[in-house]
Chains A and B, each alone.
Chain A
Amino acid sequence: MIGWLMMASWSPYIVGAGIGVLIWTAFLFSDRPLGCSTAYANTAGMVESALSRRKAEAMPYYRKYIPAVDWQWMLVIGVLIGAFLSAYLSGTFRVLIVPPVFAEAFGTDALLRSATALIGGILMGLGARWAGGCTSGHGISGTLQLSVASWVAAICFFAGGILVAGLIFGFSFL
């Protein structure tokens, strides 16, 4: 059992099935789908509240999505912890700033990688809230519920992602 937990990687089918079962429990015990982007909206709202509570409370968006350390927020913290546990147990924990695949294409400049991470993150945060969910919320939880919006969202996530990735890196098979 411990050996299994210490493996560097598991079959994607097993991982996916595990996530599926996890979602069963989320629906059953928490009456919620699994989703990650609301946590970031909450964080933004909490920062706005810290800067000016009155202004934040007046914003329509934060009336709809009340900034709080809620179930979703704890979920994302949990993801961080869970991934650390897994990496630690399998000895794959490695501190890095520039991922190898990025370095191969663009060099090891940490500042460049940080800038792309920031810009990409901003676009992602904007897009996720705009679309009403991310690859977990729409891409997995929504599609399994056969939600029309989620299927469309998932297709657009990947269409946009593939297009821009191709523009940035170039496709190897072309």
Chain B
Amino acid sequence: MLGLVSGIIFGFLLQKGGVTDYGVIIGQLLLTDFTVVQVMLSAVLVGMIGVYTMKSTGLVRLHARKGSVGATVLGGLIFGAGFAILGYCPGTAAGAVGSGALDAAIGMAGIAVGAGIFARLYPALDQKILNRGVFPTETIPELLGIRPWIVVIGVGILIIGILYLLAVLGF
């Protein structure tokens, strides 16, 4: 139930932000429209500060898992290719359908098929590729050996800098 309500709010926000629109997403990938990055970075900034604050008071725990070159990099690039060809992501595709885009519905079916194909390939992939080049740690602070809040502040400044730069450049 909470999932449904969260989703409704999520979808409402995504549509208002314009990121359920094929043109906006492709515009981002073609580097002419930076709405997607502006939304994502703003979400990361706010989310990061809140989650890490709650984490330090023991209210929440992190859900990060180790990645690997074989899984994260390879999978990420394949995803990227699909991203450019479909023009939506798993979340925004659902949002696009809600806005009336029927091509996104076909896309959603495709995503499910792709997930199903992965599930069938999983045993072989897990054995041969997915565990190649496992990343040494789960989080960046652990990787750098720096205290989390220092990284949080550093990333926060970086994000604000990027958003400011984009604004100045006229995006």
B partners with A: yes
Chain A residues with CB under 8 Å of chain B are 7, 9-10, 12-34, 36-37, 39-41, 43-45, 47-48, 59-62, 65, 70-87, 90, 92-102, 113-114, 116-132, 134-136, 138-166, 168-169, 171-173
Q: Are B99 and A47 in contact (CB under 8 A)?
A: no
Q: Are A127 and B101 in contact (CB under 8 A)?
A: no
Q: Which of B104, B110, B125 contacts A125 (CB 8 A)?
A: B110
Output the least CB separation between A5 and chain B (Å). 8
Q: Are B31 and A144 in contact (CB under 8 A)?
A: no
A144 to B110, CA, bound (A): 28
Contact with A along B83-126 (1 / 0, CB 8 A): 11111011111111111111110111111111111111011011
Q: Are B114 and A126 in contact (CB under 8 A)?
A: yes
Q: Which of B21, B30, B148 contacts A169 (CB 8 A)?
A: B30
Q: Are B84 and A120 in contact (CB under 8 A)?
A: yes
- Nearest CB in chain B to that of A132: its residue: B71
**11 contacting pairs across A/B (C-beta < 8 A):** A15-B16, A79-B11, A83-B15, A119-B86, A122-B111, A127-B77, A131-B76, A146-B155, A152-B67, A163-B81, A169-B26
A77 to B75, CA, bound (A): 25
Q: Are A99 and B23 in contact (CB under 8 A)?
A: yes
A74 to B7, CA, bound (A): 7
Q: Is the interface of A mostly helix, strand, loop or mixed?
A: helix
Q: Are B85 and A126 in contact (CB under 8 A)?
A: no
Q: Which of A79, A93, A157, A168 contacts B76 (CB 8 A)?
A: A157
B130 / chain A contacts, CB cutoff of 8 Å? 130
Q: Which of B4, B16, B89 contacts A134 (CB 8 A)?
A: B89
B71 / chain A contacts, CB cutoff of 8 Å? 130-132
Output the least CB separation between B50 and chain A (Å). 4
Q: Are B86 and A124 in contact (CB under 8 A)?
A: yes
A173 to B169, CA, bound (A): 15
- Nearest CB in chain A to that of B44: its residue: A144
Output the least CB separation between A60 and chain B (Å). 5
A119 / chain B contacts, CB cutoff of 8 Å? 82, 85-86, 110
Q: Are B6 and A21 in contact (CB under 8 A)?
A: no
A135-B91, A165-B84 known; A44-B141 Cβ under 8 A:
no
A145 to B20, CA, bound (A): 24
A159 to B84, CA, bound (A): 10
Q: Are A121 and B42 in contact (CB under 8 A)?
A: no
Output the least CB separation between B142 and chain A (Å). 8
Output the least CB separation between A15 and chain B (Å). 3
Output the least CB separation between B36 and chain A (Å). 8
B75 / chain A contacts, CB cutoff of 8 Å? 126-132, 153, 156
B7 / chain A contacts, CB cutoff of 8 Å? 74-82
A60 / chain B contacts, CB cutoff of 8 Å? 122-123, 126
A167 to B151, CA, bound (A): 36
A39 to B108, CA, bound (A): 11
